[in-house]
Amino acid sequence: MAKRFIFDSTRCTGCHACLVACSIKNKLSPGQSYRQLQTFNDRHHPELINIHLSIACNHCSNPLCLQNCPTGAYSKDSATGAVMIDSSICIGCKYCSLTCPYDAPSYSEELGITEKCDFCQDRLEAGESPACVQLCPTGALDIEDFEPTPYTKDATNSQPGFSETTTRPALRIESFKADARPVTCSQKTKNSVISTFFGKLKSTDLPKTSLSSEWPLLLFTSLVPLQVALVFCHLTSKISLNLIAILLSVVVGMGLSAVHLGKIQHGYRALLNGATSWLSREIMLSFGFLATIALSVLFSPPPLPLGLITFFSGMLLLLAIDSIYSAILRGTPVIIDNETVTLTTLIYIMILSGHPLVAMVPMSLKTYFHFHQKPSPFIHLRSLQQITFRIRLLLGLFCPLILLIFQPPGGRWLLFSSVFLAEVTSRLWFYLNLDVPTPHNQMSRDFKEAEQNLRERKGALHK
Amino acid sequence: MAKYITACPVNCYSTCSMIVEVDNGRIVSLEADPGNKATGISICLKGLSHLERVYSEERILTPLIKTSGQGVDAVFNPISWKEALELLANKLNHCRDSYGAKSVLYYTASGQKGLLNEVGIHFFKLFGGCTIKYGDLCWQAGLEATRLTLGANKHNAPWDLENADLILLWGKNPAETNVQQMQYIYAALDKGAQLIVIDPRRTQSSERADHLLQLRPGSDGALALGLANQLIKTKGIDTDFISRHVLGFDEFHNYVRGFSLERTSRLTDIAAEDIRLLAEKISGSQAMTLCCGFGLQRYTNSGQSLRAILALSVITGNLGRPGASWVYSNLQSAIFDKTPSPQAAYPPVDSDKSSIRCSLATARLGADILKTDNPAIKMAIISRANPITQNPDSSTTTKALRGLDFTVTIDHFLTDTARESDLVLPATSMFELSDIVTGYWHPYIQLRQKVIAPVREAKSEPEIFYMLTKKLGYSDEDIEGILPFPDAEGIETFLAAKLAPFPELSLEKLKKGPILCPGFEEVAFADFCFPTPSGKIELFSKEARQLWEVDEIAKFRPPQESTGYQEETVETKSLFLLTPNSKNHIHSQFNNLKNIRQFSPAPFAEIHPQEAFERGIEDGERVRIFNSRGSITVIAKLDLGIRTGCICVHNGWWLSEGGGVNLLSHGRETDMGHGAAFHDNLVEVERG
């Protein structure tokens, strides 16, 4: 029978014993744990209840980690439903931790691989509860047998910090009802003090990715559209260039993208899960693209069928890249997003093949997306992000318009350079904002929402 | 793999029973032992961290001798046990010969509970004497208040809390300090009970409460008297219970008449309506359990305050029935104590005749060391204690220790006190010596089992004192019957002798798990026998005046160091410094561990935004907290849950970590019981 965790936030005191229980059970270094605890209203807004969320892997019925892992290191135990990772297969690409909405897979810098809660499989087999459950001193954690059922959202039972997702987490939450009243405090604080305080309070959001670790992927995903566009224009004789240079740049790009792996030497395993993982497919398609360019170099000038195959393998690679990020963001498909590299490539092709006015259509569309797409609610716009946002607008729309109006000599290449730089900046903006929801950031967002709602309600009453 | 049942011996309500799993001589896991009904649900964060504590890289595992420096700059070198004992024996001999044995201070506290802790005193009796402290840092005023009123310190079984329909948590935050009590609070709430919390802070324990009364620190007694007045006025009392079991109700009634809702409101800074409402809830309750914490009885007025609070249970007849109890301290399991607490900590009347001079007040340790003469204190042996961090007035304690010729500390880590010592000896952990542990919340007798050999060169106190006696030249005949032989057999013989008077208990049985103490009462005082001088519950206590020179009635006086009780002529910006315990420490223990440090990385001060903004302090900035006694600089954490007029820094941070709250406290005693009134503590706060 499949098992699931039960978390009862009406009993959790935020004592952290579950984290240390997990740490001891899994022989992790002190201070590390596969479980995390988030607190709602830790600064005690007098009109809001203070509650905690203790969360580990929810052993989802539809685990995105398992689906998206390029190596097939994940498996689901048929008896308990536990989602397990085989650390001997993991290559440390961290893609699973980006796709998991609950921040369950945890990457170990020390080991270069990802580890996670295995539901204390050995304890379950011995008829015992997982260590975190056994060592919860208030009875807030438990497990139970359950029949996985399709996902339904129970709006009356919303637990701050926890977002319902289509992954169908094997977790039952007993929580305060949405209208739970906080304790009535005898001390009354002026509304102005409360709102000034929360207005000033620094955000505690923690982005899950950072440019310092993601820069190879930024370069890789910026290079591919350029490469595909150049190959197309070369094959259609719109421009002429040395295919060997393109070939080398593809090799460099692929090499760079492997740098972020925890286990580069085992990188080949990323090809093992083409069946469900877009990352695996992307890597396969990268090799395909590389091979077709290599053939095109050998049979220069390439015959038409080879030319077509080369271009289409490049386009498939672009679609794969877009799909990877769609999976991470779990919202809008990236293909109709500001960040689509497929659309970027089409813009490049149009400009390079001498149709800059046509290119203005997708460029305007992307700018629309850019405006429309609000910055991730999980992150405050930091200064770097504001700068990139503005540069993107300047280079991607205003400069091209001016160039098109004044038509200076060498305008096509100026225009292309401007748009290319805009797209790289846009990509940078994307990585800076590539912040998937985690329980931590979800909690912080839920609190901000609750606090603002109170403020608005007060404002309305005041009027 | 082998599994053993043992018990957590730190100074905590819960005193959990644990199952230890040992593999190849190494502890691999800790779990709760369901054999203890009160703690079987699980052990806490700190209990789990014992594992890291035993194997921590920072643990002292050889004797250390100081080569230079003091405090944070102290430098130590390892030495052998042979050298360490020779040095110690020489110093002891020198002190005894030159100044008399009483020039040696033997200071112990609550770091690790167990019956074997008495061997130190046996050693010193053999040695010819020493000086020790009287009183206690922790709970004396409340124990004495309870003893004066009820005659004994005991309460209903922990699980009986479920039967209450009104739970009053008065200055207690069990979610952090007694986490297993929460299961019973939740069970009662699920059955429809009401929870009221009285605390200057909105704590984790108050989250599911109906009301939180954030009273002015030190005004607990006034609130209780005001409530009593209101209860009497509204006939919310149990007159039948009073006439049968209570002495001095009329005198009490006469006195509380002065505590109108308005006056009580002024004193406590709680709205009159809130006080009236609470009185209404108390009178409407069929079974009220009043859980009173320890923090509120560390003021100069707190013995009387606790008598006043306890009076609420008394006049409403909430004693001696299921769900109706005064839960302060449950000493039912203290069956091995020759003198019960709190008297065990009082200085003996005939101290002069004894070789053991019991003359230093715990609350004024530093000052009393400095002023002691004939003979003056020349050296100190400190065990299970970290007085520099935990006793009031850290600066004076440090000065006093620095003034000694030689200081030895027996401990697990280089605490502030160890850093002020000339010699540090590596103590055994709870897993490296068997002992018997009793609690003060649940009623079990538990065996703390030795489950591993001492790590490297750690040694237990029985072994250290045994070796020391040999080094001092005593023969086995001299030692026979005074100190246990420190091998497994010797220790078991010692413990078995302790158990011998109780046929229900034996080491064999205790190895299998905790045992309810002989004479255990699930409902305390169910027989309505109160061992006071009058045999009744005493709201009027002659003993109170005889022993402590306080009023026979629990009269209210503001704490000596306080603000806001009178219309102040000069506007004061002083704040009450609150120094409670947290879930992350037991006093100064545990916080140095990585498992704990992740949740509690650096000392911080909770302050209400209003107080912070008035002082230009922003969240996350450093604040300097100071008074005439000292100052500390910590991070400000703005929190709407704390009462204005207060600032809160958890106690237990080491001075070396920058959070030594006792740099700010003053060494003075509580009004009764020789407790430490370090919560009489006003500070100023500014940007750091």
**What mean pLDDT do residues A420-443 have?**
85
pLDDT at A180: 79
User: At residue B60, does pLDDT exceed 50?
Assistant: yes
In Å, how far is A43's CA from the nearest CA of chain B? 5
Split at pLDDT 50, 70, 90, the class of A332 is low
pLDDT at B570: 65
Please answer yes or no on whether A200 and B618 come within 8 Å at the CB atom.
yes
Torsion of Cα atoms, B150 then B154 then B159 then B161, to 10°: 20
Please answer yes or no on whether B41 and A138 come within 8 Å at the CB atom.
yes
B614: nearest Cα among B683, B682, B685: B685
Q: How far apart are alpha carbons B351 and B360 in whole angstroms?
A: 12
Please answer yes or no on whether B619 and A202 come within 8 Å at the CB atom.
yes
Split at pLDDT 50, 70, 90, the class of A333 is low
- Residue burial A243-266, b: 16+ Cβ < 10 Å; e: rest: beebbebbeebbebbeebbbbeeb
Q: What is chain A's alpha carbon radius of gyration, rounded to the nearest angstrom? A: 25
User: At residue A227, does pLDDT exceed 70?
Assistant: yes
Give the dihedral sign, CA B191/B194/B199/B204. Answer: positive
Is B635 within 8 Å of chain A by CB? no
Residues of B in contact with A185 (CB under 8 A): 202, 211-212, 214, 641
Please answer whether residues B200 and B270 qualify as being in contact, where contact means their C-beta atoms are separated by less than 8 angstroms. Answer: no
Q: pLDDT tens, B418-437?
A: 999 999 999 999 999 999 99
Is A156 within 8 Å of chain B by CB? no
Split at pLDDT 50, 70, 90, the class of B632 is very high
Please answer whether residues B160 and B323 qualify as being in contact, where contact means their C-beta atoms are separated by less than 8 angstroms. Answer: yes
CA nearest A23 in B: which residue? B595
**What mean pLDDT do residues B501-516 have?**
98
- Mean pLDDT rounded to a whole number for chain A: 88
**What mean pLDDT do residues B42-65 have?**
97
Q: How far apart are alpha carbons B371 and B379 in whole angstroms?
A: 14
Task: Return the higher-pLDDT residue of B135 and A433.
Answer: B135
Task: Return the higher-pLDDT residue of A428 and B198.
Answer: B198
Residues of A in contact with B49 (CB under 8 A): 20
Task: Return the higher-pLDDT residue of A371 and A3.
Answer: A3
Strand segments, DSSP code E, in B474-581 are: 515-516, 537-538, 575-578
Report the residue from A136, A197, A201 with minimal CB separation from B42.
Answer: A136
Residue B395 CA, distance from chain mean position: 21
pLDDT at A30: 86
Q: pLDDT tens, B198-243?
A: 999 999 999 999 999 999 999 999 999 999 999 999 999 999 999 9
Residues of B in contact with A182 (CB under 8 A): 207
Please answer yes or no on whether B175 and A13 come within 8 Å at the CB atom.
yes
Residues of B in contact with A17 (CB under 8 A): 42-45, 48, 179
Residues of B in contact with A12 (CB under 8 A): none
Q: How far apart are alpha carbons A247 and A244 in whole angstroms?
A: 5
Is B214 within 8 Å of chain A by CB? yes
Please answer whether residues A349 and A233 qualify as being in contact, where contact means their C-beta atoms are separated by less than 8 angstroms. Answer: yes
CB atoms < 10 A from the CB of B620, how many? 12
pLDDT at B225: 98
Q: pLDDT tens, B347-395?
A: 998 767 889 999 999 999 999 999 999 999 999 999 999 999 999 999 9
Q: pLDDT tens, B526-544?
A: 999 999 999 999 999 999 9
Split at pLDDT 50, 70, 90, the class of A378 is very low
pLDDT at B551: 98
Q: Which helix (H) or strand (E) holds B381?
A: strand B379-383
- Mean pLDDT rounded to a whole number for chain B: 97
Q: pLDDT tens, A437-451?
A: 899 999 998 999 999
Q: How far apart are alpha carbons B181 and B255 in whole angstroms?
A: 35
CA nearest B55 in A: which residue? A30
In Å, how far is A180's CA from the nearest CA of chain B? 10
pLDDT at A176: 79
CA nearest B194 in A: which residue? A183
Please answer yes or no on whether A139 and B599 come within 8 Å at the CB atom.
no
Q: How many CB pairs under 8 A join A and B?
A: 146
Is A186 within 8 Å of chain B by CB? yes
- Of the listed ranges A182-186, A216-220, A239-243, B473-477, the least confidently predicted one is A239-243
**What mean pLDDT do residues A167-175 have?**
90
Please answer whether residues B667 and B364 qualify as being in contact, where contact means their C-beta atoms are separated by less than 8 angstroms. Answer: yes
In Å, how far is A268's CA from the nearest CA of chain B? 37
Q: How far apart are alpha carbons B426 and B663 in whole angstroms?
A: 27
Give the dihedral sign, CA A71/A77/A82/A88. Answer: negative
Tokens of B452: 């591993």
Q: Which helix (H) or strand (E) holds B420?
A: none
**What mean pLDDT do residues A140-165 have?**
79
Strands A171-174 and A3-8: parallel
Is B658 within 8 Å of chain A by CB? no
Q: How far apart are alpha carbons A11 and B185 in whole angstroms?
A: 10
Question: Which of B26, B27, B42 should be substituted to probe chain A, the one whose Cβ sees the most A Cβ atoms within 10 Å?
Answer: B42
Residues of A in contact with B217 (CB under 8 A): none
B26 DSSP β-pair partners: B23
- Of the listed ranges A95-99, A282-286, A397-401, B555-559, the least confidently predicted one is A397-401
**What mean pLDDT do residues A284-301 have?**
92
Please answer whether residues B377 and B131 qualify as being in contact, where contact means their C-beta atoms are separated by less than 8 angstroms. Answer: yes
Q: How far apart are alpha carbons B655 and A36 in whole angstroms?
A: 30
Q: pLDDT tens, B101-120?
A: 999 999 999 999 999 999 99
Residues written for chain A: 463
Q: Which helix (H) or strand (E) holds B365?
A: helix B365-371
Report the residue from A23, A45, A137 with minimal CB separation from B41.
Answer: A137
Q: How far apart are alpha carbons A187 and B206 in whole angstroms?
A: 14
- Residue burial B389-414, b: 16+ Cβ < 10 Å; e: rest: bbbbbbbbbbebbeebebbbbbbbbb
Q: Please give the C-alpha separations between residue B602 and each of A30, A266, B328, B635, in angstroms, as whole numbers.
A: 17, 41, 31, 8
Is A191 within 8 Å of chain B by CB? no
Please answer yes or no on whether A183 and B41 come within 8 Å at the CB atom.
no
User: At residue A43, does pLDDT exceed 90?
Assistant: yes
Residue carrying the six token digits 């010729």: B405
In Å, how far is A170's CA from the nearest CA of chain B? 24
Is B643 within 8 Å of chain A by CB? yes
Residues of B in contact with A202 (CB under 8 A): 619-620
Question: Which of A26, A187, A203, A204 should be substituted to probe chain B, the one whose Cβ sees the most B Cβ atoms within 10 Å?
Answer: A187
Chain A, residues 14-43, CB within 8 A of chain B, namely 14-17, 20-21, 23-25, 29-31, 43
A441: nearest Cα among A95, A63, A163: A163
Split at pLDDT 50, 70, 90, the class of A283 is very high
Please answer yes or no on whether A200 and B211 come within 8 Å at the CB atom.
no
Please classify residue A149 by burial: count the beta carbons closer than 10 Å to its beta carbon, then call 0-12 exposed, 13-18 middle and 19+ buried.
Answer: exposed
pLDDT at A404: 86
pLDDT at A377: 43
B589 DSSP β-pair partners: B586
**What mean pLDDT do residues B294-315 have?**
98
Split at pLDDT 50, 70, 90, the class of A335 is low
Q: How far apart are alpha carbons A71 and B11 in whole angstroms?
A: 51
B167: nearest Cα among B206, B192, B196: B196
Q: pLDDT tens, B340-352?
A: 999 999 999 876 7
Please answer whether residues A214 and A440 qualify as being in contact, where contact means their C-beta atoms are separated by less than 8 angstroms. Answer: no
Residue carrying the six token digits 């709407």: B640
Q: Please give the C-alpha separations between residue A184 and each of B41, B193, B213, in angstroms, as whole numbers.
A: 30, 16, 9
Q: pLDDT tens, B657-673?
A: 999 999 999 999 999 99
Split at pLDDT 50, 70, 90, the class of A153 is low
Residue carrying the six token digits 């170990």: A108
Is A203 within 8 Å of chain B by CB? no
Instruction: Give the range with max mean pLDDT: A168-172, A330-334, A357-361, B231-235.
Output: B231-235
Is B595 within 8 Å of chain A by CB? yes
Q: pLDDT tens, B437-488?
A: 999 999 999 999 999 999 999 999 999 999 999 999 999 999 999 999 999 9
Report the residue from B51, B638, B644 with minimal CB separation from A24.
Answer: B51
Report the residue from A30, A43, A185 with minimal CB separation from B212.
Answer: A185
Split at pLDDT 50, 70, 90, the class of A381 is low
Chain B, residues 292-321, CB within 8 A of chain A, namely none
Split at pLDDT 50, 70, 90, the class of A40 is very high
Report the residue from A11, A16, A193 with minimal CB separation from B45.
Answer: A16
